[in-house]
A and B are shown apart, each in its own frame.
Chain A
Amino acid sequence: MKVVDTDISNFKILRLGDSSMNKGEVELIELEECPKNLDMIVGFPDVGLVGVIASSFLVRRLEMKTIAYMDSSMFPPVLPFHKSRPHFPLRISTDGNLVVLFSEIAVPVKSYGAIAETIMEYAIRNEAKSIIMLGGIAVQNRIEIVKPSVYILPTKEELLKEIKLPELKSLDEGFLAGIYAVLMKEMMKRNLKGYVLLAESHLGYPDPGAAASVLEVLSRLLNLDIDIKPLLEQEEELRLHLRDLMKRTVETLRSAQKTYEQTPPLLYR
């Protein structure tokens, strides 16, 4: 499988964000124009690394091209490299039909607000059809579950009527915590359409099985042709390989008050 990634050691910047980047800001570095009116998929390291496994699989499987990066002085001082090419850890890719944003580092909680602002600005400017966040929801009995169920939480109630998939369950009561909570709030403020898809997952173990469930639902919702077999075949290898990212993500989740998701909501509202 070929990955069409832009070589940043030799890239031409189309648009550079505020180059006098101050503490507390996120810079958007655009290499190419983003196609307009597409669905935008978002995957951040979170519960079971579901979002990042699913979205990075999409990028690879659909042979997407990197079109933008995000950077901030708040991010850890790391630079991933793939096939001898350096990359920014947070990048946006597209195949012309779908836009995928994913991060291969656990971003610090203090940067959530600035990341959300930057994503909103990017989505509005490129007239994103919807913003779909992929993730996991921790369940105690995950080892007993063969095929994890997928839950949906939309920004607008009417979306639930539009989306009619019998296997998709709605999240009725509770709390959403972490970066997706911040993103959802920003989307609601701006009246943007979108939803979070959360698969039942291990909390602190990488869960490619949950990522496969999320991708299955996503492909039905967006009529995508994605073969998730390779993801399931590499499940155990991925779990071993993503151990360190999982460890770092769990540390971040602690400060993101992720345990809120296990808190029962108010009875009377």
Chain B
Amino acid sequence: MEEFFDIIRRIREEVRRTFEELEEDLERLLIRSREGIIEPLSYVYESPREILITVDLPLVKSREDIDLEVREGKLILEAKIAHSPVLDVENPFYRRCVYKCYRKVFPLPDDVILETIKARFVRGVLEIRIPRKVRGFRVSIE
């Protein structure tokens, strides 16, 4: 019998957590939409030698409109959107939303070399290469 109540308790806890997460997601989305900030699509690829980050930044005119800053172990990206998209879409959620900028924070691991970060902006995609300190040493093979 006790086992049964344990299962019910666990299910209730899971439902509560799911609702909390959903609330948080929606809240974050609404606040960001009100401020005109959107999170861009991005990918992070890690290799032992470097971290490669790509970010899709459509409607950003030039590299001058992109701010890339390293602060407290994080890479902070902000990019100005040239104009809000004009598509024939009528959605209550987006109706009053004017896109102003992209914002995304990437946490950085400890083993990166911050001085030699390189970035390029090609056809609306930002590519950031962050070299890593090479740990260990080469073993020669006889």
Give me the interface of A with B, judged by CB distance under 8 Å.
83-84, 142-144, 202-206, 234-241, 243, 246-247
Given the known inter-chain contacts A143-B127, A246-B41, please indicate yes or no for A202 contacting B58, CB distance below 8 A.
no
Q: Would you call B41 and A247 a contact (CB within 8 A)? A: yes
Contact pick for B59, options A83, A202, A203, A236, CB 8 Å: A236
Which 10 pairs from chain A and chain B are nearest by CB?
A: A239-B58, A237-B85, A236-B58, A205-B56, A143-B122, A240-B58, A143-B125, A236-B59, A240-B85, A241-B87
Give chain B residues whose Cβ lies under 8 Å from the Cβ of A143. 54, 122-123, 125, 127
Query: How far does the alpha carbon of A142 sit from the alpha carbon of B85 in the complex, in Å?
Result: 24
Give chain A residues whose Cβ lies under 8 Å from the Cβ of B54. 143
Give chain B residues whose Cβ lies under 8 Å from the Cβ of A241. 85, 87, 89
B90 on the interface (CB 8 Å rule)? yes
Cβ of B37 to closest chain A Cβ, rounded Å: 13
Taking A142-B125, A239-B124, A247-B41 as known contacts, 20 extra A-B pairs with beta carbons closer than 8 A to each other, sorted by chain A number, are A83-B90, A143-B123, A143-B125, A202-B56, A202-B125, A204-B41, A205-B41, A205-B56, A234-B87, A235-B58, A236-B85, A236-B124, A237-B85, A237-B87, A239-B56, A239-B59, A240-B85, A241-B87, A243-B40, A246-B41
**B contact patch SS:** loop
| Size of the chain B interface, CB-CB below 8 angstroms | 20
Q: Would you call B99 and A240 a contact (CB within 8 A)? A: yes
Contact with A along B55-87 (1 / 0, CB 8 A): 010110000000000000000000001000111
**A contact patch SS:** helix
Give chain A residues whose Cβ lies under 8 Å from the Cβ of B89. 241
Query: How far does the alpha carbon of A206 sit from the alpha carbon of B41 in the complex, in Å?
Result: 10
Query: How far does the alpha carbon of A202 sit from the alpha carbon of B86 in the complex, in Å?
Result: 23
Query: How far does the alpha carbon of A203 sit from the alpha carbon of B42 in the complex, in Å?
Result: 11
Most B CB contacts (10 A, CB to CB) among A143, A204, A238 go to A143
Q: Could you list some 8 contacts between A and B, CB below 8 A?
A: A142-B125, A202-B125, A203-B43, A205-B56, A205-B125, A235-B58, A237-B58, A241-B87
Q: Which residue of B lies closest to A240 (CB)?
A: B58
Query: How far does the alpha carbon of A214 sit from the alpha carbon of B35 in the complex, in Å?
Result: 37
Give chain B residues whose Cβ lies under 8 Å from the Cβ of A205. 41, 56, 125
Cβ of A34 to closest chain B Cβ, rounded Å: 28
Given the known inter-chain contacts A205-B41, A205-B56, A243-B41, please indicate yes or no for A237 contacting B86, CB distance below 8 A.
yes
Query: How far does the alpha carbon of A96 sit from the alpha carbon of B42 in the complex, in Å?
Result: 41
Give chain B residues whose Cβ lies under 8 Å from the Cβ of A84. 90
Query: How far does the alpha carbon of A243 sit from the alpha carbon of B41 in the complex, in Å?
Result: 7
Q: Which residue of B lies closest to A145 (CB)?
A: B123
Give chain A residues whose Cβ lies under 8 Å from the Cβ of B56. 202, 205-206, 239, 243
